[in-house]
Amino acid sequence: MAKNIVVLAGDGIGPEIMASGLAVLQAASEKSQYSFTFEHHAFGGAGIDAYGDPLPKETLAACQKADAILLGAIGGPKWEQAEKTPEAGLLALRKALHLYANIRPVKVPDALLDCSPIKSEIVKGTDLVVVRELTSGIYFGEPRQLAADFAVDTNRYHEDEIRRIIHQAFQIARSRRKKVLSVDKANVLATSKLWRKIAEEVAKEYPDCTLAHQYVDSAAMKIVQQPTSFDVIVTENLFGDILSDEASVLPGTLGVLPSASHSISGISLYEPIHGSAPDIAGKNIANPVSMILSIVLMLRQSFDYQELADQIEQACFAVMAEGVLTPDLNGTATTEEFTQAVIAKLEE
Protein backbone atom coordinates (compact mmCIF):
# COMPACT_ATOMS: atom_id res chain seq x y z
CA MET A 1 0.00 0.00 0.00
CA ALA A 2 1.27 3.43 -0.94
CA LYS A 3 2.21 5.60 2.02
CA ASN A 4 0.20 8.81 2.24
CA ILE A 5 2.55 11.74 2.75
CA VAL A 6 1.13 15.13 3.63
CA VAL A 7 3.39 17.80 2.14
CA LEU A 8 3.54 21.27 3.66
CA ALA A 9 5.97 23.12 1.40
CA GLY A 10 5.44 26.45 3.18
CA ASP A 11 7.23 29.69 2.38
CA GLY A 12 10.49 31.16 1.07
CA ILE A 13 12.87 28.36 0.09
CA GLY A 14 10.39 25.79 1.49
CA PRO A 15 8.77 25.01 -1.90
CA GLU A 16 12.18 24.95 -3.66
CA ILE A 17 13.79 22.40 -1.35
CA MET A 18 10.55 20.41 -1.12
CA ALA A 19 10.43 20.07 -4.93
CA SER A 20 14.01 18.82 -4.80
CA GLY A 21 13.38 16.32 -2.02
CA LEU A 22 10.25 14.93 -3.63
CA ALA A 23 11.98 14.59 -7.02
CA VAL A 24 14.76 12.57 -5.38
CA LEU A 25 12.28 10.41 -3.46
CA GLN A 26 10.24 9.84 -6.62
CA ALA A 27 13.31 8.81 -8.62
CA ALA A 28 14.54 6.44 -5.90
CA SER A 29 11.15 4.88 -5.19
CA GLU A 30 10.37 4.19 -8.88
CA LYS A 31 13.08 1.54 -8.86
CA SER A 32 11.93 0.11 -5.52
CA GLN A 33 8.94 -1.91 -4.34
CA TYR A 34 7.65 1.09 -2.38
CA SER A 35 5.25 3.83 -3.42
CA PHE A 36 4.02 7.10 -2.01
CA THR A 37 1.14 9.47 -2.60
CA PHE A 38 1.70 13.16 -1.93
CA GLU A 39 -1.06 15.42 -0.65
CA HIS A 40 -0.05 19.10 -0.71
CA HIS A 41 -1.62 21.49 1.80
CA ALA A 42 -1.36 25.19 2.58
CA PHE A 43 0.58 26.03 5.73
CA GLY A 44 2.39 29.02 7.24
CA GLY A 45 2.38 32.20 5.17
CA ALA A 46 0.89 30.19 2.31
CA GLY A 47 -1.98 29.23 4.65
CA ILE A 48 -2.54 32.89 5.56
CA ASP A 49 -2.59 33.87 1.88
CA ALA A 50 -5.02 31.13 0.89
CA TYR A 51 -7.28 30.87 3.97
CA GLY A 52 -6.36 33.72 6.34
CA ASP A 53 -4.95 31.11 8.75
CA PRO A 54 -1.38 29.72 8.99
CA LEU A 55 -2.82 26.34 10.08
CA PRO A 56 -6.06 25.92 8.09
CA LYS A 57 -8.49 23.35 9.51
CA GLU A 58 -8.27 21.13 6.45
CA THR A 59 -4.47 21.12 6.68
CA LEU A 60 -4.55 19.96 10.30
CA ALA A 61 -7.19 17.32 9.46
CA ALA A 62 -5.02 16.00 6.62
CA CYS A 63 -1.96 15.85 8.90
CA GLN A 64 -3.92 13.84 11.48
CA LYS A 65 -4.70 11.19 8.83
CA ALA A 66 -1.26 11.08 7.19
CA ASP A 67 1.26 8.26 7.36
CA ALA A 68 3.93 10.97 7.74
CA ILE A 69 4.26 14.72 7.24
CA LEU A 70 6.97 16.59 5.35
CA LEU A 71 7.44 20.28 6.05
CA GLY A 72 9.69 22.67 4.08
CA ALA A 73 9.91 25.90 6.07
CA ILE A 74 7.59 28.74 7.00
CA GLY A 75 7.72 32.46 7.73
CA GLY A 76 9.01 35.64 6.17
CA PRO A 77 8.79 39.42 6.30
CA LYS A 78 5.42 39.48 4.51
CA TRP A 79 3.62 37.90 7.48
CA GLU A 80 5.57 39.32 10.43
CA GLN A 81 2.68 41.59 11.46
CA ALA A 82 -0.06 39.03 10.80
CA GLU A 83 -2.59 38.52 13.57
CA LYS A 84 -1.62 34.82 13.62
CA THR A 85 1.91 34.45 12.26
CA PRO A 86 3.31 31.47 10.34
CA GLU A 87 5.47 30.73 13.39
CA ALA A 88 2.35 30.62 15.60
CA GLY A 89 0.88 28.17 13.08
CA LEU A 90 3.96 25.96 13.34
CA LEU A 91 3.77 25.90 17.14
CA ALA A 92 0.03 25.17 16.94
CA LEU A 93 0.71 22.23 14.58
CA ARG A 94 3.41 20.78 16.86
CA LYS A 95 1.08 21.12 19.86
CA ALA A 96 -1.98 19.72 18.10
CA LEU A 97 -0.06 16.65 16.92
CA HIS A 98 1.77 16.28 20.29
CA LEU A 99 5.15 16.30 18.50
CA TYR A 100 7.12 16.45 21.72
CA ALA A 101 10.38 14.80 20.61
CA ASN A 102 12.43 16.69 18.04
CA ILE A 103 15.48 14.74 16.89
CA ARG A 104 18.20 16.79 15.19
CA PRO A 105 21.20 14.73 14.04
CA VAL A 106 24.39 16.63 13.24
CA LYS A 107 27.01 14.80 11.20
CA VAL A 108 30.02 16.24 9.44
CA PRO A 109 30.78 14.13 6.39
CA ASP A 110 34.42 14.16 5.29
CA ALA A 111 33.25 15.81 2.06
CA LEU A 112 32.37 18.95 4.02
CA LEU A 113 35.50 19.21 6.17
CA ASP A 114 36.84 22.07 4.08
CA CYS A 115 33.51 23.92 4.23
CA SER A 116 33.49 24.26 7.99
CA PRO A 117 34.82 27.51 9.42
CA ILE A 118 36.23 25.36 12.23
CA LYS A 119 39.54 23.51 11.82
CA SER A 120 39.01 20.13 10.18
CA GLU A 121 40.92 18.25 12.89
CA ILE A 122 38.31 19.54 15.37
CA VAL A 123 35.16 18.79 13.35
CA LYS A 124 36.29 15.55 11.69
CA GLY A 125 34.10 12.67 12.84
CA THR A 126 31.41 14.83 14.45
CA ASP A 127 28.31 12.70 14.96
CA LEU A 128 25.90 14.00 17.58
CA VAL A 129 22.14 14.21 18.07
CA VAL A 130 20.24 17.03 19.71
CA VAL A 131 17.05 15.71 21.31
CA ARG A 132 14.94 18.81 21.74
CA GLU A 133 11.74 18.93 23.80
CA LEU A 134 9.23 20.52 21.39
CA THR A 135 5.80 21.06 22.92
CA SER A 136 6.44 22.72 26.26
CA GLY A 137 8.82 25.10 28.05
CA ILE A 138 8.97 28.82 27.43
CA TYR A 139 7.44 28.43 23.96
CA PHE A 140 4.10 27.44 25.45
CA GLY A 141 4.08 28.41 29.17
CA GLU A 142 1.27 30.62 30.47
CA PRO A 143 0.93 33.41 31.37
CA ARG A 144 2.39 35.30 28.46
CA GLN A 145 1.73 38.91 27.77
CA LEU A 146 2.99 41.73 25.61
CA ALA A 147 2.11 45.22 26.81
CA ALA A 148 3.56 48.53 25.65
CA ASP A 149 6.06 48.74 28.49
CA PHE A 150 6.47 45.20 29.79
CA ALA A 151 6.28 41.64 28.60
CA VAL A 152 5.98 38.20 30.19
CA ASP A 153 6.95 34.71 29.06
CA THR A 154 6.71 31.70 31.32
CA ASN A 155 9.01 28.71 31.33
CA ARG A 156 7.04 25.77 32.64
CA TYR A 157 7.72 22.03 32.69
CA HIS A 158 5.76 19.19 34.21
CA GLU A 159 7.75 16.16 35.33
CA ASP A 160 5.91 13.92 32.82
CA GLU A 161 7.06 16.15 29.95
CA ILE A 162 10.64 15.90 31.13
CA ARG A 163 10.48 12.18 31.76
CA ARG A 164 9.26 11.26 28.28
CA ILE A 165 11.89 13.32 26.43
CA ILE A 166 14.69 11.95 28.64
CA HIS A 167 13.46 8.43 27.84
CA GLN A 168 13.65 9.29 24.12
CA ALA A 169 17.25 10.43 24.57
CA PHE A 170 18.27 7.20 26.29
CA GLN A 171 16.49 5.07 23.70
CA ILE A 172 18.44 6.85 20.97
CA ALA A 173 21.69 6.61 22.96
CA ARG A 174 21.23 2.84 23.21
CA SER A 175 21.55 2.53 19.44
CA ARG A 176 24.63 4.81 19.46
CA ARG A 177 27.57 5.43 21.79
CA LYS A 178 25.39 5.29 24.94
CA LYS A 179 26.32 8.75 26.24
CA VAL A 180 23.55 11.15 27.22
CA LEU A 181 24.33 14.76 28.09
CA SER A 182 21.47 16.68 29.66
CA VAL A 183 21.86 20.41 29.09
CA ASP A 184 20.17 22.86 31.46
CA LYS A 185 20.64 26.02 33.53
CA ALA A 186 20.16 24.34 36.92
CA ASN A 187 22.35 26.92 38.65
CA VAL A 188 19.57 29.46 38.04
CA LEU A 189 16.27 28.05 36.76
CA ALA A 190 13.69 26.07 38.77
CA THR A 191 12.60 24.26 35.61
CA SER A 192 16.20 23.12 35.15
CA LYS A 193 16.48 21.89 38.75
CA LEU A 194 13.43 19.68 38.17
CA TRP A 195 14.81 18.65 34.74
CA ARG A 196 18.09 17.48 36.33
CA LYS A 197 16.32 15.52 39.08
CA ILE A 198 14.07 13.70 36.59
CA ALA A 199 17.01 13.01 34.27
CA GLU A 200 18.82 11.31 37.17
CA GLU A 201 15.75 9.19 37.96
CA VAL A 202 15.25 8.09 34.36
CA ALA A 203 18.96 7.27 33.98
CA LYS A 204 18.60 4.50 36.57
CA GLU A 205 16.50 2.59 34.02
CA TYR A 206 19.39 2.65 31.54
CA PRO A 207 22.39 1.22 33.41
CA ASP A 208 24.09 0.48 30.05
CA CYS A 209 24.25 4.23 29.32
CA THR A 210 25.92 7.17 31.03
CA LEU A 211 24.32 10.46 31.98
CA ALA A 212 26.18 13.73 32.45
CA HIS A 213 24.90 17.26 32.99
CA GLN A 214 26.19 20.54 31.64
CA TYR A 215 25.02 24.14 31.84
CA VAL A 216 23.80 25.50 28.54
CA ASP A 217 26.31 28.36 28.36
CA SER A 218 29.21 25.99 28.80
CA ALA A 219 27.69 23.43 26.39
CA ALA A 220 27.37 26.17 23.74
CA MET A 221 31.09 26.76 24.01
CA LYS A 222 32.02 23.09 24.00
CA ILE A 223 29.95 22.28 20.89
CA VAL A 224 32.30 24.32 18.73
CA GLN A 225 35.43 23.60 20.76
CA GLN A 226 35.17 19.81 21.00
CA PRO A 227 32.20 18.62 18.92
CA THR A 228 33.34 15.00 18.72
CA SER A 229 32.98 14.64 22.50
CA PHE A 230 29.17 14.68 22.18
CA ASP A 231 26.83 11.76 21.51
CA VAL A 232 23.23 12.52 22.55
CA ILE A 233 22.33 15.96 23.90
CA VAL A 234 18.90 16.24 25.51
CA THR A 235 17.53 19.63 26.41
CA GLU A 236 14.49 21.87 26.75
CA ASN A 237 12.71 23.56 23.87
CA LEU A 238 14.53 26.92 23.70
CA PHE A 239 18.03 25.61 24.44
CA GLY A 240 17.57 22.90 21.79
CA ASP A 241 16.53 25.48 19.21
CA ILE A 242 19.64 27.56 19.83
CA LEU A 243 22.20 24.78 20.25
CA SER A 244 21.11 23.01 17.06
CA ASP A 245 21.48 26.14 14.92
CA GLU A 246 24.87 26.65 16.56
CA ALA A 247 25.83 23.07 15.67
CA SER A 248 25.19 23.86 11.98
CA VAL A 249 28.47 25.75 12.02
CA LEU A 250 30.21 22.35 12.26
CA PRO A 251 29.20 21.13 8.75
CA GLY A 252 29.40 24.74 7.58
CA THR A 253 25.73 25.46 6.83
CA LEU A 254 22.21 25.17 8.18
CA GLY A 255 21.34 23.81 4.76
CA VAL A 256 22.37 20.21 5.51
CA LEU A 257 20.60 19.62 8.85
CA PRO A 258 17.36 17.59 8.96
CA SER A 259 15.02 16.78 11.83
CA ALA A 260 12.34 14.33 12.88
CA SER A 261 9.56 15.11 15.35
CA HIS A 262 7.77 12.24 17.03
CA SER A 263 4.54 12.09 19.01
CA ILE A 264 2.86 9.69 21.39
CA SER A 265 0.18 8.80 18.80
CA GLY A 266 2.74 7.64 16.25
CA ILE A 267 2.39 10.46 13.70
CA SER A 268 5.74 12.04 12.84
CA LEU A 269 6.78 15.18 11.02
CA TYR A 270 10.07 15.67 9.18
CA GLU A 271 11.55 19.10 8.46
CA PRO A 272 14.90 20.85 8.06
CA ILE A 273 16.01 22.69 11.20
CA HIS A 274 16.43 25.95 9.29
CA GLY A 275 13.84 28.52 8.28
CA SER A 276 12.50 29.94 5.04
CA ALA A 277 15.73 31.86 4.28
CA PRO A 278 14.05 34.93 2.74
CA ASP A 279 17.49 36.29 1.80
CA ILE A 280 17.98 33.57 -0.82
CA ALA A 281 14.38 32.58 -1.64
CA GLY A 282 13.38 32.40 -5.30
CA LYS A 283 16.99 32.30 -6.52
CA ASN A 284 17.32 28.54 -7.05
CA ILE A 285 20.38 28.45 -4.78
CA ALA A 286 18.99 26.95 -1.55
CA ASN A 287 20.73 23.81 -0.34
CA PRO A 288 18.16 20.99 -0.52
CA VAL A 289 20.26 18.50 1.48
CA SER A 290 18.40 19.38 4.71
CA MET A 291 15.12 18.37 3.02
CA ILE A 292 16.54 15.29 1.31
CA LEU A 293 17.97 14.07 4.64
CA SER A 294 14.64 14.83 6.37
CA ILE A 295 13.06 12.47 3.83
CA VAL A 296 15.77 9.90 4.62
CA LEU A 297 14.81 10.19 8.31
CA MET A 298 11.16 9.65 7.36
CA LEU A 299 12.01 6.51 5.39
CA ARG A 300 14.01 5.14 8.32
CA GLN A 301 11.95 6.18 11.31
CA SER A 302 8.34 6.11 10.06
CA PHE A 303 8.51 3.28 7.50
CA ASP A 304 11.67 1.28 8.26
CA TYR A 305 12.63 1.43 4.54
CA GLN A 306 16.32 1.25 5.40
CA GLU A 307 17.59 0.27 1.96
CA LEU A 308 15.77 3.07 0.15
CA ALA A 309 16.99 5.50 2.81
CA ASP A 310 20.59 4.26 2.40
CA GLN A 311 20.43 4.70 -1.38
CA ILE A 312 19.25 8.31 -1.16
CA GLU A 313 21.64 9.23 1.65
CA GLN A 314 24.63 7.68 -0.12
CA ALA A 315 23.77 9.38 -3.43
CA CYS A 316 23.46 12.72 -1.67
CA PHE A 317 26.82 12.39 0.12
CA ALA A 318 28.54 11.04 -3.02
CA VAL A 319 27.42 14.09 -5.01
CA MET A 320 28.74 16.43 -2.31
CA ALA A 321 32.02 14.49 -2.22
CA GLU A 322 32.38 15.09 -5.97
CA GLY A 323 32.26 18.81 -5.23
CA VAL A 324 28.73 19.50 -6.44
CA LEU A 325 27.82 22.06 -3.78
CA THR A 326 25.40 24.95 -3.45
CA PRO A 327 26.69 28.49 -2.68
CA ASP A 328 26.20 28.16 1.12
CA LEU A 329 29.06 25.61 0.90
CA ASN A 330 31.07 27.83 -1.43
CA GLY A 331 29.94 25.89 -4.49
CA THR A 332 28.25 27.05 -7.67
CA ALA A 333 25.53 24.42 -8.13
CA THR A 334 21.93 25.57 -8.24
CA THR A 335 19.26 23.76 -6.25
CA GLU A 336 18.07 22.09 -9.46
CA GLU A 337 21.58 21.11 -10.58
CA PHE A 338 22.29 19.53 -7.22
CA THR A 339 18.96 17.67 -7.38
CA GLN A 340 19.65 16.37 -10.89
CA ALA A 341 23.12 15.24 -9.81
CA VAL A 342 21.61 13.21 -6.94
CA ILE A 343 19.03 11.67 -9.29
CA ALA A 344 21.77 10.81 -11.81
CA LYS A 345 23.82 9.24 -9.00
CA LEU A 346 20.83 7.10 -7.99
CA GLU A 347 20.70 5.78 -11.55
CA GLU A 348 24.38 4.79 -11.71
**CB of 208 vs ligand IPM, minimal distance in Å:** 31
Annotated ligand binding at 69? The verdict is no
Tell which one of 16, 241, 271, 328 touches Mn ion (CB under 5 A).
241
Sign of the alpha-carbon torsion through 188, 191, 197, 200: negative
Is 139 among the catalytic positions?
yes
Annotated ligand binding at 45? The verdict is no
Is 185 among the catalytic positions?
yes
- Partner interacting with residue 73 (select from ligand NAD, ligand IPM, Mn ion, none; CB below 5-8 Å by kind): ligand NAD
Among 339, 289, 314, 347, residue whose Cα is nearest residue 23: 339
What letter would DSSP give residue 348?
Answer: -
Q: Are 162 and 199 in contact (CB under 8 A)?
A: yes
278 scored as a contact of ligand NAD (CB under 6 A): yes
Contacts of 165 by beta carbon, 8 Å cutoff, 6+ apart: 100, 101, 131, 133, 234
214 vs 182: CA distance, rounded Å: 6
- Partner interacting with residue 76 (select from Mn ion, ligand NAD, ligand IPM, none; CB below 5-8 Å by kind): ligand NAD
Tell which one of 93, 199, 223, 273 touches ligand IPM (CB under 6 A).
273
Q: Residues in contact with ligand NAD, total (CB under 6 A)? A: 23
236 scored as a contact of Mn ion (CB under 5 A): no
307 vs 158: CA distance, rounded Å: 39
Catalytic residue among 157, 184, 185, 328: 185
**Nearest CB to ligand IPM, comparing residues 90 and 320:** 90
Query: Near ligand IPM by CB under 6 A, which window of 10-18, 87-95, 142-150, 307-315?
Result: 87-95
**CB of 128 vs ligand IPM, minimal distance in Å:** 17
345 vs 247: CA distance, rounded Å: 28
The H-assigned helical ranges of the chain are 14-30, 45-51, 57-65, 86-96, 120-123, 159-174, 190-203, 216-225, 237-247, 289-301, 306-321, 335-347
Tell which one of 21, 28, 53, 87 touches ligand NAD (CB under 6 A).
87
Is 245 among the catalytic positions?
yes
Query: Which residues carry out catalysis?
Result: 139, 185, 217, 241, 245
